[in-house]
Amino acid sequence: MPRKTKSKKTEKYPSYLKDQKTKKVYKNVIEEYTSVARMYEDKWKKYLASTEAAILKQLKLKGNETIVDAGCGTGSLIAALREKKKHRGKILGFDITPAMLDLAEARLSKDRFNKTLQLELAHCENFSAKNNSVDIVLCSNVFNHLPHPEKALQEFRRVLKKNGKLILVTLCNDYPSTKIADWIGRILYKGHHRAHSSAEVDALLKKQKFTITDFKTWKATHILGVMLFEAKKR
């Protein structure tokens, strides 16, 4: 079960970030995304268009699946699921940065009326979905921010139904240019923890008892290589 640290006060979103330890660990990420939130989509336009298109292509939806978008940012992927994939099932989008979640809320506010969309302030190691309740977890461009990616994978596994799918898209430092960008990123972007190689993510997924069902890697920009893993909960 998620560790319930939700505030009793009425707030804009349910929050699972109340404990000081969590806030301290993620301070850098929250500060970085608070300062870039309004520019985020413009700044990373080409990169985000590439990763979002890959996820949408990968997803074969019936339309009523329960989906979690882990680190949903400005809500662009959720909007695309609704508009381009005609998805109408339950979606939980959560993010650790209130400023990013505010943009998601503004973009998706109409959707909130029909009660199938829930947004919450949470982190990948602790969010509200119940055990074995989710068909698909999406984790797009978040993995490089996680100091403990294995704990996030455990949490994704906890909420997924048996045979439920995880789609994980993240930087791929198999490419030399991405490896260099990763090192520079650690200096310039205080929320960036590290990029991974495909072998590292493969091993992490297998350790958490996921079966990898698909893998792709490509250059989202001239410099930044990315990878997509589709994995199934056994």
* Chain residues in the site for ligand SAM (CB under 6 A): 26, 29, 33, 48, 51, 71-73, 76-77, 95-97, 100, 123-124, 140-142, 145-146
CB of 29 to ligand SAM, least distance (A): 5
CB of 80 to ligand SAM, least distance (A): 10
CB of 32 to ligand SAM, least distance (A): 8
The single-letter DSSP state of residue 75 is: S
Residues paired with residue 227 on neighbouring β-strands, in sequence order: 170, 217
**First and final CA of the chain: distance in angstroms?**
19
Closest CB to ligand SAM among 134 and 234?
A: 134
Is the Cβ–Cβ distance between 61 and 84 less than 8 Å? no
Alpha helices in 74-147 (DSSP H): 76-83, 98-113
Q: Cα-atom radius of gyration of the chain, to the nearest Å?
A: 16
Amino acid at residue number 169: V
Is the Cβ–Cβ distance between 153 and 139 less than 8 Å? no
Residues comprising the chain, all counted: 234
Residue 127 tokens, joined:
């969010």
Residue at shortest CB range from ligand SAM: 73
DSSP 3-state percent helix, strand, coil across the chain (nearest 5): 40, 25, 35
CB of 146 to ligand SAM, least distance (A): 5
Instruction: Report the run of H or E that residue 31 belongs to, with start and end.
Output: helix 27-36
Tell me the three state secondary structure of residue 12. coil
CB of 78 to ligand SAM, least distance (A): 9
CB of 214 to ligand SAM, least distance (A): 19
Closest CB to ligand SAM among 149 and 164?
A: 149
